[in-house]
Structure formats: structure tokens, C-alpha cells
Amino acid sequence: MAERNVLIVDDDRQVRDMLQEVFSSAGYNCLVAHDGREGLAVFRSSRPPLTVTDLKMPVMDGIQFLQAVRSVDTDAAVIVLTGAADVKTAIDSLKLGAHDFIMKPVHVDELLIAADRALERRQLLIERREYQALLERRVEEATRDLATAYRQLRETYRTTLEALGSALDTRDVGTEAHSRRVHGYSLATAREHGVPEDDLTDLAHGVLLHDIGKIGIPDAILLKPGPLTADEWQIMRRHPEIGKRLIEKIPFLRGAVPIVYHHHERWDGNGYPLGLRGEEIPLGPRIFSVVDAFDAMTFDRPYSKAIPFEAARAEIKRCASAHFDPDVVESFLRVPESLLEEIRRRSFEP
């Protein structure tokens, strides 16, 4: 019955004996001390849930004792005994954490009711704190689980998109690993251009899916070995619009829409589908069109042989302000050639 321990601290032997008698009869196990210092030593070793202390004592008075006890155990229930002359100090003791004070001479029933009440309040405080800690732990666990699920979901999205990008590449003859390369080139250029890291996910999604609308272009046109007729070009040029309609209703792909829809716009307004000009074109597609052209020039296609990186960079510089945003071209040209090489090499890895 450790919970029924009571520590009685009083320098007056008669009072101590009386208190001990009262508490023992009520079923408490009594620990006794003559002054604050002795009381504190007993308190430290036994940690009684309830302490009853006199205020005026030699060596360490009741207020000092109360403060010391509360600093050892903030849950300690302490009842202060006071004479009529010392009521103000007793009231002060409440501010320092005493649960109650009892006027001397002590009325037995009043003391036992105060003891019960103090222990009850102590118990409530402990339970409330434990409940709070339990809730905090649960919230923490739930947050951790949620974060894990979110990470897995993002990873699933990412790999799904990469797979879709590769699937689109294989349908488009001669553009093997194209989406992986332009993905790498775009991110490097965007970082060089000062695009915030938080915006790079949308950019990456847009790049991987830029030609998703080609799903809606008949194979006879998409895979035609010779040059396209004017009518065929008209159909081919619908792929940004088809792509936009495919993904705009998928919430996590909404950020990819600008690149899918505008990746064939030109800085001078001669592109499609809307013929937007300059900064009317969102930044994502302005970055994409530079690296897309770079990849097209530096990789063998059915009707064009690859040219060296340096020549391709010079050509892009020449086309700035006509095809491309000149500021984006500047950023692209600042990407080290070694990094471009590295991205290209990695695009062939399984």
C-alpha cells in the first residue's frame, strides 16, 4: 500500500503523535520527521504521495520544505498546518504548490477530508498527464505512419511516372531514354536558373510526361518512316492538347500540365498550340524546350545524326530569343558539360 504513505513533519511532539494516531486509524502508513531537513531526507528516500507539514520549524521551515519537496516531485501532495497568526504564509504556500492548509488546532475530519481530496487531485493530475503523454505518443506514431505512407506513395508515383515516361519513349522511334535525359537536363538547368527545390517535382513530372498526348496520335502518323504531310502535321500538333486533357483531372499531376500543354511554344510566338510569346509561356516549358532541343541535336534520330555537345550548345545560343527564352539559355549554358555527360551516361543505366 505504498500509495497510502503519509509523511508527517512537525517539531511539536504532541502534534506529531496526534497526527500519527489520526492517519494510522484511517489506514495510512505514517513516516515521521522533526523538521524540514529531516522531512526532506525521508521524502527523498520514500517519496510518499501525501505530506503534512507544520510551517514554523527550526532548521528548515515549512515553506522551504514545501519548495524543496515540490522540486523533487511536482506531483507531491502537500498539506500545510498553520496557526491563526500565520494564515498569510499558509495562503502563500498554496501559490507554491501546497494542495491545502489546515488551521490548528486540527479538526480530525477536516484533516482526513483534505488528505483524501489532495490525494485525489494528485491522482487526477498524474492521470491527466499520462493521458496527455499517451495522446502525444499516438499522434507521433500516427504522424510517423502517415509520413511513411506518404513517402511510399510518392515513391510509387515517381516510379510509375518513370515507367510511363519510358513506355512513351519506346513508342516514339529513336528516342530511347529521351525522357530520362531531358528529366536530368531540365533539373540541372532549373537549379542553375534558381527555380526553388519545391517546384522541381512538378517540373520533373511535366518533363517525364511531356509527350503523353502522343498516345492519342495514330501509329500511321507517329511511326511514319517518311516526312509528314501538312494534314498529318496538323494531327501531330494536337498531342499537347490531348496530353493536357489526359492529365489535368489527376490532382497530383496538375503541376505537370504547363509542360505537357506548352512544350512546343516558342519564345517568338511561332510555336503551338496557342502561339504564346515570351513570358506568356510558363517557365517550366521554357526550360524544357531548351533541353529537349539539346537532346534532339545530340542524339541520333532516324533523320538526323547527332552533333557534338559543343556544337549543340552553340546552336542553342544562336536560337535564343527566337526559339528560346534567352535567360533560360544563359542558365543552360552555365550547366557544366561534365554534368550533361553524366546525365546522358546514367540515362542508359538499367
Catalytic residues: 214
Stretch that binds Fe ion, among 75-83, 98-106, 163-171, 209-217 (CB under 5 A): 209-217
How many residues bind Fe ion, per CB under 5 A?
1
Kindly tell me which of 237 and 277 has the beta carbon lying closer to Fe ion: 237
Q: Which of 211, 325 has the CB closer to Fe ion?
A: 211
Least spacing, CB of residue 243 vs Fe ion, in Å: 8
3-class DSSP string for 16-84 = HHHHHHHHHHCCCEEEEECCHHHHHHHHHHHCCCEEEEECCCCCCCHHHHHHHHHHHCCCCEEEEEECH
Evaluated on CA atoms 173, 175, 177, 183, the torsion sign reads negative
| Least spacing, CB of residue 236 vs Fe ion, in Å | 9
- Reading the block at residue 22, the C-alpha cell is 489520526
* CB closer to Fe ion out of 26 and 246: 246
- Closest CB to Fe ion among residues 54, 211: 211
- Number of Cβ within 10 Å of residue 257's Cβ equals 23
**Under a CB-based contact definition with an 8 Å cutoff, are residues 99 and 86 in contact?**
no
Segment near Fe ion (CB under 5 A); pick from 9-17, 30-38, 211-219, 297-305: 211-219
Query: What is the grid cell recorded at 303?
Result: 533523320
Q: Which residue is nearest to Fe ion (CB)?
A: 211
| HEC readout, 276-313 | CCHHHCCHHHHHHHHHHHHHHHCCCECCECCCCHHHHH
What is the smallest separation between the CB atom of 152 and Fe ion, expressed in angstroms?
A: 31
Contact predicate 204/186, CB 8 Å:
yes
CB 191 → Fe ion: shortest distance, Å? 23
How far is the C-alpha of 304 from the C-alpha of 300, rounded, in Å?
6
Q: Please, what is the minimum distance in Å from the beta carbon of residue 197 to Fe ion?
A: 26
Residue 345 CB-density burial (10 A; 0-12 exposed, 13-18 middle, 19+ buried): exposed
Q: Burial, 127: exposed, middle or buried (Cβ in 10 Å; 0-12, 13-18, 19+)?
A: exposed
> Is there binding between residue 295 and Fe ion (CB under 5 A)?
no
Q: Are 99 and 28 in contact (CB under 8 A)?
A: no
Q: Which of 169, 211, 295, 325 binds Fe ion (CB under 5 A)?
A: 211
Only segment of 46-54, 155-163, 192-200, 206-214 that touches Fe ion (CB under 5 A): 206-214
**Residue number with CB closer to Fe ion (18 or 242):** 242
- CA dist 276 and 282 (Å) reads 9
Q: Which is nearer to Fe ion, 26 or 236 (CB)?
A: 236
Contact range with Fe ion by CB under 5 A, out of 196-204, 208-216, 225-233, 336-344: 208-216
Using only C-alpha atoms, the chain has a radius of gyration, in whole angstroms, of: 40
CB of 295 to Fe ion, least distance (A): 12
Task: Build a one-symbol-per-residue string for 250-279: x at contacts with Fe ion by CB under 5 A, - elsewhere.
Answer: ------------------------------
Site of interaction with Fe ion (CB under 5 A): 211
